[in-house]
Amino acid sequence: MEALTAILREPGTITAPKLGVFAARVAAGDRVRPGTVLGTLRVLNREYSVIAPQGSAGVVEKAPSSRHDPVGYGDVLFTLGSDAGIAIAASALGAKTDAMVDGVVVSAPITGIFYRRAAPSTPVYVEIGQAVANGQTVGLIEVMKTFNPVVYTGAPGVVAAIPAGDRQEVVFGQPLVIVKA
C-alpha cells in the first residue's frame, strides 16, 4: 500500500493530504510521532496509508467522529496535545514512562506482541545491566505473523529496566526497555 504524508497546518493540527474517505487507526489518547500510521485514505478505488508528518508529536486529543469520514484536502483529521497526559494512561496500564524514569525509553513503535528473544531456545536480546549500542536490536514485535525488530537508537548505555513482559501484548508508545546513558 502506498503512503501519503498528512499535513501539519499549525502545531497540533494534522490535516488530510487529499480528498477521500478516511478511516482512523489512532484514537483519542494515542501517542503520535512523525511516521506514525494515522489511518487509511480511500481515493476512488485506491487505498493509501496516511502517516504523521515531521513535527507532529503529541497525544491525540480530538479524532474523527466515525470510522469512515469523507474528508477534503486540508480538513482537520486530528488535534494533538502535549505528551503530559501519557504518564496517566501508561500508569493505568502498569507501564513506566519517560516522566517516571531516568534514562532513554525505547517505546513500542507499533501495537502487537513483544518478544524478548528470537526463538524460545535462543538467549534474550538484552538483560538488565547489559551494555547496549546505537542500532542494537532489543526485542521483536509480532503483528499478523510478521516480526518487526525493535532497535535502540541513542548513545551507548546500560539497560536499566525492561517494563514490558516477554510474549505480552504492547500498545504503540508503551515503554519496552529503559537505557541509562
Q: Is residue 43 part of a domain?
A: yes
Give me the pLDDT at residue 55, please. Answer: 78
Q: How many helices (H) and strands (E) does the chain have?
A: 1, 18
Residue 68: pLDDT above 50?
Answer: yes
Residues 72 and 145 in one domain: no
Q: Which CATH number belongs to the domain containing residue 123 in this structure?
A: 2.40.50.100
Q: Is residue 23 part of a domain?
A: yes
Q: Is residue 172 part of a domain?
A: yes
Mean pLDDT of the 170-175 span: 81
The SS3 assignment for 54 reads: coil
- Percent of the chain at pLDDT exceeding 70: 86
Q: Is residue 63 part of a domain?
A: yes
Give me the pLDDT at residue 1, please. Answer: 65
State the chain's mean pLDDT as an integer: 82
Give me the pLDDT at residue 99, please. Answer: 38
Listed ranges 39-43, 57-61, 85-89; the one with the highest mean pLDDT:
39-43
- Closest alpha carbon to 20 in 47, 42, 50: 42
Single residue among 81, 109, 124 that ends a domain in this structure: 81
Confidence band, pLDDT 50/70/90 cuts, at residue 42: very high
Confidence band, pLDDT 50/70/90 cuts, at residue 2: confident
Domain that holds residue 173: 99-180
Residues 14 and 59 in one domain: yes
Strand order in the sheet with 137-143: 146-151, 137-143, 112-115, 168-170
Residue 140: pLDDT above 60?
Answer: yes
The pairing of strands 69-71 and 76-81 is: unpaired
Question: What is the value of pTM for the model shown?
Answer: 0.47
Give me the pLDDT at residue 89, please. Answer: 39
Residues 131 and 176 in one domain: yes
Across 22-26, 78-82, 102-106, 160-164, least confident range: 102-106
Backbone phi and psi for residue 98, each to the nearest 5 degrees, phi listed first = -50, -40
